[in-house]
Each structure stands twice: as structure tokens, then as C-alpha cells.
Amino acid sequence: MVTPELILLAAFVLDLFFGDPRWMPHPVRGIGWLAMQTEALLRRTALPLRLAGILAVLVVVGGSAGIAGLLIVLATRVHPAADMAVAIYLMYSCFAVKDLAGHAEAVRKALDADDIELARQKVSFIVGRDTADLTASGIALAATESVAENSVDGVTAPLFYALLFGPVGAIAYKAINTLDSTFGYKNERYLEFGWAAARLDDLANYLPARVTVLVIALAAAISKLRVYDIFQAVRQGARLHASPNAGYPECAYAGALGVTFGGGRSYGGEFHNSPLLGVRAGECSSLTIRQSVRLMRMTAALFLALGVGIRVVLQLVV
């Protein structure tokens, strides 16, 4: 008998080996298309923007989860194993371990080859800050921070909701996360319309971000990194971050790697000074990129193993 745990494991392994092939139809791209179409439709109404944004969240998240569930139900009528294949594919599309590692490794390889222009180009694919004038250490900082921040929304949070609610839960989470990426900006266009998307994303990531810190600490202990510094960095800096959740994994990575995140950076030509995160003044380098990727992979594997283990134990007890 194929259990939900085996389906989740199969989806995770597929991501480790294949990542996100651009030629394959991807549910998250479909969610993004649905979000844009829903926004365009609701903006043509006379509804207040905040209410329109709430409706957009309901339509996109509810619609994405509903379609995922419907696909699984319809698949059972095609072949007894078809629903398993659909469930595996839906969950596989929600994980980003290989892609996150691949983007960071591309930056590291460019730095190791002393090709600063290529490194700037590669890091621009994964960060929102201006990269044209970044130094080697600035590029390494941007890449390492990106791995830290995306360890939750690209890795552990989808696992968290897949463990709790299966493929429909994972897709619902990715819909929430995609809406935040699409609408969750504090600018004139989205301050009101994106309010609900941003708040729901904060809520959805609240528990995964904090649980992830504990798993990062376990992964750091196995990897012989700075476990004590993780908790000190989180305690001192997590609440300083502009995001109520992103500060937790970022502080944890900074502590484990013995570096400082944050500081000055430019977005669209405007200078911003982010709070300093971490308890040691080490600078990021190609080595810290490599270490962050290894830590991310170890954290992902442990998160999955612990989650599956807890599920099995609860099933035996109940």
C-alpha cells in the first residue's frame, strides 16, 4: 500500500533530482496567471481596494486548492494509480530545494572564477536589490541571505503544509506565497489591494519559520556549525527584521555560519539600511554560500524525516 508518507518522500526526491524543468507545466505558474486575471477583473469593479484584495485571496487560494483536489479525484477515475501520480506531481512542484541550491551555486562558481560581472548577473536572479555595483562580499552576502530567507517559503513551509494536509495543503500554501509575491508590496498600487495577501502570508509562515529554526539548529549540530550562536542571534535580531517571519531563518543562518546579514543595500536606486543580524562580524564569501546550501539541504531532509516520523508515531498511538 502506498501511504501519504511515501508519496511525500517521492515528491521530495523528485525535486532533489530534477528541480523545476522549465518545459513542464507548473502549477505555480498557473496560480500566478490566475492571480493576475483575478486582479484585473476585480480592479474593474467599484469595490474598495482592500475588499477587492480579500476577494482575490479567496478566489486564488480557494480556487487553487479546489482545482488540486479535483484533479486528484478525477485521476482516480482514470486509473487506480493516477491519483498517486497527480498527488506526487502537485507536491513536487511546491518544493524548491534543487532550484534554490542551483541558483546559489551558480553565484558561488562565478565568484570562485573571479568573474564578478557574471556573479552579479547570477545573483540578480534571486534577489531584489540592485546588483550592478556589488562587490564580491556583497554578492556573497546577497546569495547567502537569499538561501536563508527562501529556506522557509521554498522548502520547509511547503513541507509543513504537505505533512499536515497533503498535496492540497501544499498547493494552498504556494498560492498564498505566490499572492504575497504578486500583491504584497507596500506601494501605491498594492498597499490596499495586497493587504490581505501580505497578512495571510505572514500568518501561513508564522509556525513554519519558528519550527525551522529548531531544525536548522539540529542540522547545524550535525554539520558542526555554531549551534549556540543560532539561538543568540534569533533572540537578539529576529524581531528587528521588517518581516515578522523572515528574521527567524536569516538570524539562524547568520548565527550558524558566523556572519552578519543586513546593512546597506539599494532597491531601484534608493538606499535602504537593513538591521544587522547575527552575533559575529564575519563577512560572507563563496565558502559561506557553499555552507548555506549544505545547511539548507540538511535542514530540508531533517524537516521531512522528523515530520514523517511524527506522523507515523501519531498513527500508531491513535
In Å, how far are 151, 219, 243 from 95, measured between CA atoms?
A: 10, 19, 22
Distance CA 105, CA 107 (A): 5
What is the model's pLDDT at position 317? 87
- 80, 1 contact by CB (below 8 A): no
- 272, 228 contact by CB (below 8 A): no
Helix or strand or coil: residue 274?
strand
For residues 129-137, average pLDDT? 92
What is the model's pLDDT at position 94? 95
- 94, 174 contact by CB (below 8 A): yes
pTM of the model: 0.94
Run of H or E including 24: none
Q: Given its phi and psi angles, is residue 274 left (phi above 0), alpha (psi -120 to 50 degrees) or beta?
A: beta
Task: For the chain, give every domain's residue range.
Answer: 4-317
Strand residues in the chain grouped as ranges (E): 261-267, 270-277
Task: Please count the other Cβ atoms lying within 10 Å of the Cβ belonging to residue 52.
Answer: 20
**Residue 193: is its pLDDT beyond 90?**
yes
**Residue 142: is its pLDDT beyond 70?**
yes
What is the model's pLDDT at position 84? 93
- 229, 280 contact by CB (below 8 A): yes
In degrees, rounded to 5, the angle at the alpha carbon of residue 54 between the alpha carbons of residues 48 and 57 is 140
For residues 162-185, average pLDDT? 95
- In tens, the pLDDT along 93-127 reads 999 999 999 999 999 999 999 999 999 999 999 99
Distance CA 216, CA 218 (A): 5
- 154, 95 contact by CB (below 8 A): yes
Distance CA 142, CA 131 (A): 9
